[in-house]
Amino acid sequence: MYLELQDLSVRYLASRPLAVDSVSFGLRAGEIGVLIGPSGCGKTTLLRAIAGLEATHAGKISLGGVTVSGEGNALPPEHRQMGMVFQDYALFPHMDVSKNIAFGIHSLPAGERQARVQDVLRLVGLAEHAHRYPHELSGGQQQRVALARALAPQPKLLLLDEPFSNLDVDLRERLAQELRTILKAAGATALFVTHDQLEAFAIGDLIGVMHQGQLHQWADAYTLYHRPATRFVADFIGHGVFTAARVELHDENGVTHKHVVTPLGELHGIHQHEQDRLSLGPCDILLRADDIVHDDASEVQARIVNKAFRGNEFLYTLELRTGETVMAHVPSHHDHRIGEWIGIRPEVDHVVTFASETPKG
Ligand SMILES: Nc1ncnc2c1ncn2[C@@H]1O[C@H](COP(=O)(O)OP(=O)(O)OP(=O)(O)O)[C@@H](O)[C@H]1O
């Protein structure tokens, strides 16, 4: 691995729990990793520890085969060859765009420096704005200058801490796509911190979900969504509800399969690799809004207790006769009233279960 963390821990105070608790993951050269998790889970601390701005308590960080922290050694930040972009753009207001970018590469000969400034400005799509001052740029443009400035010295690793959090939602989504394109064009290896899932999915090759200092899972977006390693990841990524269920054996033409009995009906046809992971007996099954289909012909009826309009669909919160609550995405031409009963059935492509915890009714 190009960037590798092994059992990295950071502690601010002896009396407090670890802010980063034995975190391990790796990134290959040119990959973009994203750390995501709720406020206070340790994302920023982890990023700062990688940059060398926070002392580590245990573990090892290596970059490009060099140990930058660990084994009794800690390279100072300026020797780690990492670039950082923060949420406040921190551009120098009295310098124009090209001078802001040239600032970090002043050791290069003048000709080379100018060429490099032009290169990164082209990369971030601001070649026309080289002589504007920061206050003459929009927030999104300023953040692209900050990115160009961080890329100019060709860092071995680029660290980005919520760089879009001061920008409005529409712009953030567009910039997230742009950022990925720019980083890939630059061939940069990067680690990005956010608490926004859509941003994480738009940017990351690999995404790490953190909670209370621990890394619960480090995987691609598809795996996080369909094979969450822990309940926390299942809950945090793509919101769902857990419902008490039972895994049972089912005989079909002499072949025995596992199926799951849920309050919404039985789930058959479970993929073999998922069957292998299911243990017989009680469990909690994750049911996401996408797993529940509105079907007038279904015997299972649920009462609409809440609904939210989402443009092309409604997100209905539904209560079953048994008292459980589930969510369902329903096309918005099915506009039912709150209190109305509708037919639903489960259509679960990826069965996700955890050990039983939900109280039995
Ligand atoms: N300088 C500090 N001194 C003591 N404790 C700190 C310090 N900085 C952060 N912490 C604590 O360490 C934990 C992790 O904080 P951190 O800022 O890394 O979380 P985060 O996931 O980046 O949160 P956010 O999304 O709100 O920025 C929190 O409990 C926080 O209170």
* Residue range 317-329, pLDDT digits in tens: 999 998 889 999 9
Ligand 1 midpoint to CA 211 (Å): 12
**Quick check: do 3-232 and 239-355 share a fold?**
no
- Asked if residues 200 and 34 have their Cβ atoms less than 8 Å apart, the reply is yes
Residue 334 is predicted with a pLDDT of: 86
Residue 165 is predicted with a pLDDT of: 80
Residue 166 is predicted with a pLDDT of: 74
Residue 15 is predicted with a pLDDT of: 79
Q: Which fold is adopted by the domain 3-232?
A: Rossmann fold (3.40.50)
Model confidence at 18, in pLDDT bands (50, 70, 90)? Answer: very high
Residue 157 is predicted with a pLDDT of: 97
CB-ligand 1 contact for 18 (6 Å cutoff): no
Nearest-CA residue for atom 20 of ligand 1? 40
Residue 332 is predicted with a pLDDT of: 85
CA 168 to each of CA 82, 118, 138, 163, 228: distance values in angstroms, whole numbers, following the listed order: 28, 28, 12, 12, 30
Residue 359 is predicted with a pLDDT of: 59
Residue 121 CB neighbours (<10 A): 21
For the segment 167-186, the average pLDDT, to the nearest whole number, is 85
Please state whether beta strands 281-288 and 32-36 pair in parallel, antiparallel, or not at all (unpaired): unpaired
For the segment 243-253, the average pLDDT, to the nearest whole number, is 90
pLDDT score of 156 more than 70: yes
Share of the chain above pLDDT 90, in %: 65
pLDDT score of 239 more than 90: no
CB-ligand 1 contact for 19 (6 Å cutoff): yes
Residue 361 is predicted with a pLDDT of: 47
Mean pLDDT score across all residues of the chain: 91
Residue 56 is predicted with a pLDDT of: 94
For the segment 339-355, the average pLDDT, to the nearest whole number, is 91
Nearest-CA residue for atom 7 of ligand 1? 12
For the segment 325-352, the average pLDDT, to the nearest whole number, is 91
Atom of ligand 1 nearest to the CA of 17: 29
Give the Cα separation of 324 and 322 in Å (integer). 6
Model confidence at 360, in pLDDT bands (50, 70, 90)? Answer: low
Residue 176 is predicted with a pLDDT of: 87
Which residue among 44, 159, 166, 196 is best mutated to probe the pocket of ligand 1, counting the most ligand atoms within 8 A of its Cβ? 44
Residue 241 is predicted with a pLDDT of: 87
Nearest-CA residue for atom 30 of ligand 1? 40
- Second-level CATH architecture of 239-355: Beta Barrel (2.40)
Give the Cα separation of 119 and 122 in Å (integer). 5
pLDDT score of 191 more than 80: yes
Number of DSSP helices (H) and strands (E) in the chain, helices first: 9, 21
Share of the chain above pLDDT 70, in %: 98
Measured at the CA of 298, the angle between CA 278 and CA 238, to 5 degrees, comes to: 50
Give the three-state DSSP class for 58.
Answer: strand
Ligand 1 midpoint to CA 21 (Å): 13
Give the Cα separation of 234 and 238 in Å (integer). 7
- Asked if residues 243 and 285 have their Cβ atoms less than 8 Å apart, the reply is yes
Residue 64 CB neighbours (<10 A): 14
Residue 89 is predicted with a pLDDT of: 64
Which residue among 13, 16, 43 is best mutated to probe the pocket of ligand 1, counting the most ligand atoms within 8 A of its Cβ? 43
DSSP bridge partners of 188:
none
Give the three-state DSSP class for 147.
Answer: helix
- Residue pointed to by tokens 């969450």: 228
Give the Cα separation of 284 and 287 in Å (integer). 9
| pLDDT tens, residue by residue, 207-223 | 999 999 999 999 999 99
Structure-model confidence comparison of residues 166 and 334, the more confident one: 334
Please give the ipTM for the structure prediction.
0.93
Domain-wise residue ranges, the chain: 3-232, 239-355
DSSP bridge partners of 301:
343
Query: Any idea what DSSP says for residue 64?
Result: T
